[in-house]
Amino acid sequence: MNQLVEADDRQGGHASLATAALEARAKVLELQQRNASERVRRALYALAAEFTTVAAWSCIDLRDLDKARTYLHESSTFAGLSQDPPTAMRVWVNMAMLAYQRKNWPEQLAAAQAANASPAARRDPFFGSMGRVRLALAHSSLGDLRAARRSLGAAQENYRKAAEDERPRWTAFYGPAELNHLAAIILNHNGEPAEAEAMAHRSLAKIPAEFQRNRALATCQLALAQLRQGEPEQATASAATVFTIMEGAPLPGRMRTLIGDFHRDLFRLAPSTTYAHDWADRMRDEWSRT
């Protein structure tokens, strides 16, 4: 499992990662056919849910959203059988993310509410923070800016209260850097680009070196925030670093969507500038890699 998570940290979702996760799940489910104690069976179901969620997450990152939905429904079944609260929490968080990508705002809110009400979120402020920030994103998507701000503040407060406990490996992505990155997304949605830029800078200052995909995504938010403040040249320089961060690896579909949004806004605001044309040339070269 650790190897799969580390591959996702570096490159983001890709087809070979989803395939590897599903192959590992098949081996785990094969072990379920043998005699084992109830505790072992629950642990195996939790592991099956983990591998299935990795496959689903890879599909979300690739924007193969129908396949992601299928895997998440399977994962929710395994998580229920495992009776493991952190595993169930992960499934709800991914369901909220999938609904966001599908632009199904009511479903995004429902999944975020389920994550926030889950046993893991109630028992541990760390997971409570994770649930509250998903609520903030959902409220922002629905245009309820005050509720988004309120939930974001609660997520930040919960995180400050969280103890340094041992948690599953998949939670390693969630810390001050990711919370600030998600805050940047929320503030960009809320029409507050100056604050979004500040949060993106805070995020980038704390993202560990091995989290290349997360660094590239936070840089996308930085570029969008700068562009929306009327700084297209600076924003273009920021956006160009996304390709450098990814070190020639194909951009995951979710990142390509953000870069596409940036490209359209740039050419709406500054279509005739030299830096816009240089950006278009760079983007064309990078897109040709995939």
Q: What is the pLDDT of residues 214-244, one digit of tens each?
A: 899 999 999 999 999 999 999 999 999 999 9
- Higher-confidence residue of 166 and 8: namely 166
Q: What is the pLDDT of residues 78-127, one digit of tens each?
A: 999 999 999 999 999 999 999 999 999 999 999 999 999 999 999 999 99
Does position 163 have pLDDT exceeding 70, yes or no?
Answer: yes
Average pLDDT, the chain: 90
Looking at residues 261-283, what average pLDDT do you find? 91
- Higher-confidence residue of 73 and 31: namely 73
Looking at residues 37-60, what average pLDDT do you find? 90
Question: pTM of the full predicted structure?
Answer: 0.88
- Higher-confidence residue of 147 and 25: namely 147
Q: What is the pLDDT of residues 55-70, one digit of tens each?
A: 998 888 888 899 999 9
CB 81 within 8 Å of CB 45: yes
Maximum C-alpha span of the chain: 69
- The whole-angstrom separation of Cα 95 and Cα 116 is 13
What does the pLDDT read at residue 141? 96
- Higher-confidence residue of 75 and 25: namely 75
Looking at residues 151-176, what average pLDDT do you find? 93
Query: Which range is most confident: 153-162, 201-210, 249-258, 264-273?
Result: 153-162
What does the pLDDT read at residue 90? 94
What does the pLDDT read at residue 290? 54
Does position 140 have pLDDT exceeding 90, yes or no?
Answer: yes
